């Protein structure tokens, strides 16, 4: 029964009986079964080599070709990042965008307010300058038209220079006017001097000024440092920009206070 058992030819009852016999211990049957199994394994080498038929080969190639065109559909991979984390990133991005937009809006608003403030300051300064100019013009007109003002003629030191005129009011101030005054060279200015009656006293410096482009001159000394009775003459010299403590050149105009 060893060969039949190795070939699997025994029925269930015979196979169970042979297995029980082997389990009881029978060295002869165990050896016979081993030889039978070796013999069965050698039967495959006894068959002659045979090539497959063309029909089988064609069917095999057709099946292989069909399987090669089948592309397996990969199942979608589940994201490793949880949904709540994506929601948090989106919320943070929206907050960042809003903060950036709000910052630009506030910056633009601040810049606009600064421009408005600067424009208001410039407008106020311009109005103040115009008001100061109007007040100065009104004060000059009051001095020039007041019958109590003292007229002082300032005579030039050169014949080709025009004469200047000054009017001095004891309470309103002093005005110097002229026409066709020559231009000054470089950083030079005209400076008014009050010449005291005391011969030992030094000339007292007053305002510095220069003529307009058309040669017109109209300057106001609102608060003269000395009263008219203590001054005997007015003089105008050419000085460096900023003026001088004492005259550095010969007077261009001189006028006695009568």
Q: Please check the confidence at residue 225 and state whether its pLDDT lies above 70.
A: no
Dist. CA 189–CA 202, nearest whole Å: 20
pLDDT in tens, 28-50: 888 887 887 777 676 666 656 66
246 contacts 195 by C-beta, under 8 angstroms: no
Distance CA 44, CA 54 (A): 23
Query: How far is 220 from 243, CA to CA, in rounded Å?
Result: 16
Please write the tens of the pLDDT for every residue from 168-191: 888 888 999 999 999 888 889 999
pLDDT in tens, 59-117: 767 776 665 555 555 555 655 677 777 788 888 888 888 889 889 889 998 999 999 99
pLDDT for residue 244: 93
pLDDT score of 179: 93
SS (H, E, C) the chain: CHHHHHHCCCCHHHHHHHHHHHHHCCHHHHHHHHHHHHHHHHHHHHCCCCCCCHHHHHHHHHHHHHHHCCCCCCCCCCCCCCHHHHHHHHHHHHHHHHHHHHHHHHHHHHHHHHHHHHHHHHHHHHHHHHHHHHHHHHHHHHHHHCCCCEEEEEEECCCCCCCEEEEEECCCEEEEEECCCCCCCCCEEEEEEEEECCCCCCCEEEEEECCCCCCCEEEEECCCCCCHHHEEEEEEEEEECCCCCCCCCCCCEEEECC
Range with lowest mean pLDDT among 39-48, 89-98, 220-229, 240-249: 39-48
Res 48: pLDDT: 60
* pLDDT at position 151 over 60: yes
At 238, the pLDDT band (50, 70, 90 cuts) reads very high
Mean pLDDT, residues 120-129: 92
pTM for the full predicted model: 0.52
Q: How confident is the model at residue 125 (pLDDT cuts 50, 70, 90)?
A: very high
Sheet architecture: strand order including 217-221: 204-209, 188-196, 231-240, 253-256, 150-156, 164-169, 173-178, 217-221
pLDDT value, residue 243: 92
């Amino acid at each position: 029964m060893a060969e039949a058992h190795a070939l699997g030819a025994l029925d269930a009852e015979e196979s169970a009986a042979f297995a029980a016999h082997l389990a009881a211990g029978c060295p002869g049957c165990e050896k016979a079964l081993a030889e039978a199994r070796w013999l069965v394994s050698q039967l495959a080498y006894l068959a002659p080599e045979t090539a497959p038929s063309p029909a089988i080969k064609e069917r095999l190639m057709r099946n292989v070709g069909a399987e090669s065109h089948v592309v397996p559909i990969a199942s979608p991979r589940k994201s490793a990042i949880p949904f709540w984390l994506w929601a948090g990133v989106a919320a943070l991005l929206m907050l960042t965008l809003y903060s950036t937009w709000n910052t630009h809006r506030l910056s633009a608003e601040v810049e606009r307010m600064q421009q408005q403030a600067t424009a208001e300051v410039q407008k106020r300064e311009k109005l103040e300058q115009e008001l100061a100019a109007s007040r100065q013009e009104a004060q000059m007109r009051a001095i020039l038209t007041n019958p109590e003002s003292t007229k002082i003629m300032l005579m030039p030191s050169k014949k080709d220079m025009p004469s200047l005129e000054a009017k001095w009011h004891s309470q309103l101030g002093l005005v110097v006017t002229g026409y066709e005054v020559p231009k000054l060279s470089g950083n030079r200015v005209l400076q008014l001097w009050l010449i005291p009656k005391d011969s030992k006293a030094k000339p007292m410096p007053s305002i510095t000024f220069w003529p307009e482009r058309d040669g017109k001159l109209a300057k106001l000394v609102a608060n003269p440092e000395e009263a008219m009775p203590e001054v005997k003459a007015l003089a105008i010299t050419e000085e460096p920009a900023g003026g001088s403590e004492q005259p550095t050149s010969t007077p261009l105009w001189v006028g006695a206070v009568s």
